[in-house]
Structure 1
Amino acid sequence: MAAPRVELLWWSGCPSHGKARAMLAEAMTELGLDPSTIDSYQLVSDEEAAREHFIGSPTIRVDGVDIVPPGADTPPALTCRLYRRRDGRPSALPDPADIRDALTRAVTTA
């Protein structure tokens, strides 16, 4: 079984990327994955945001797929990201269950 590629994309203007990394590392550890393999990228320009299809900080991708895919009309931008938790509440961080589910899918389909 090959380990999934896990990426954390962030922008320094949003303070939640540290907490997102901790949540991601915890979920990876629970699933027996090595959190030291997280590829962390700080985006600093609009050009990078466009190239990476970055719609806000923090963004987590597993095997190149956003764990919470944005709408097709969401433009790339250096901005803070707004997630909806599974209970409907807005949050600067993804729902921990969304992180676990994306990692689990990657591990079980590898």
Structure 2
Amino acid sequence: MQAMRVELLYFEGCPSAGAAEHNLREALGLEGVRAEVVPVRVETDDAAERLRFPGSPTVRLGGEDAFPVSEERERWALGCRTYVTPEGLRGSPTVGMFRSAIRAAAGE
């Protein structure tokens, strides 16, 4: 598999960004994907609007949200993001969720 572009969008102080990065890196390793994880700090609501930022942390694989949200949002702003995981609502996707998203992004 070729290298994949990966962005981790977050706001400073996000309590879940570290867990998301850890799970993402573990999933990339398990899937054998070479990728540079590029941190993208979102600092203002204006930047959130411009980046169509649904909350922190957000991971984009090849430029697309790994866990898409409705584009019909009224407002894009700084805030925490939650994910529905097998363990319930969490602030970060699980390693398994990332692995599935990576395979989907790679077209597998």
2:26 matched residue in structure 1: 26
TM-score, with length taken from structure 2 = 0.86
- Residues in 2 aligned to 1:30 and 1:2: alpha-carbon distance in whole angstroms: 15
The one-letter code sitting in structure 2 at the alignment partner of 1:63 is G
**How far, CA to CA, are the matches of 1:40 and 1:61 in structure 2?**
11
3-state SS in 2 of match to 1:94: coil
CA–CA distance in structure 1, aligned partners of residues 69 and 107 of structure 2: 23
Q: Tell me which amino acid in the other structure corresponds to 2:23.
A: M
Residue 84 of structure 2 corresponds to 84
Note the alpha carbon deviations across 1:1-43, whole angstroms, 9 max, x for none.
53221110001142110111010000011111235x1111111
> Which residue in the other structure is 2:69 paired with?
70
- Cα distance change, pair 73–13 in 1 and its aligned pair in 2 (3 A): farther
Unaligned residue ranges in structure 1 (runs of 5+): none
The ranges of structure 1 where at least 4 consecutive aligned residues each deviate by more than 6 angstroms after the TM superposition are: none
TM-score of the aligned structures, taking structure 1 as reference length: 0.85
Moved more, 1-10 or 37-46: 1-10
Distance 2:94 2:32 in 1: 20
SS of residue matched to 2:93: coil
> Unmatched 5+ residue regions in structure 2?
none
Cross-structure match for 1:103: 102
For these two proteins, the number of residue pairs brought into alignment is: 107
Structure 1 or 2: larger strand share?
Answer: 2
Secondary structure of the corresponding residue to residue 5 of structure 1: strand
**Alpha-carbon spacing, 1:72–1:106, altered in 2? closer, same or farther (3 Å):** closer
How many percent of aligned residue pairs carry the same amino acid?
36
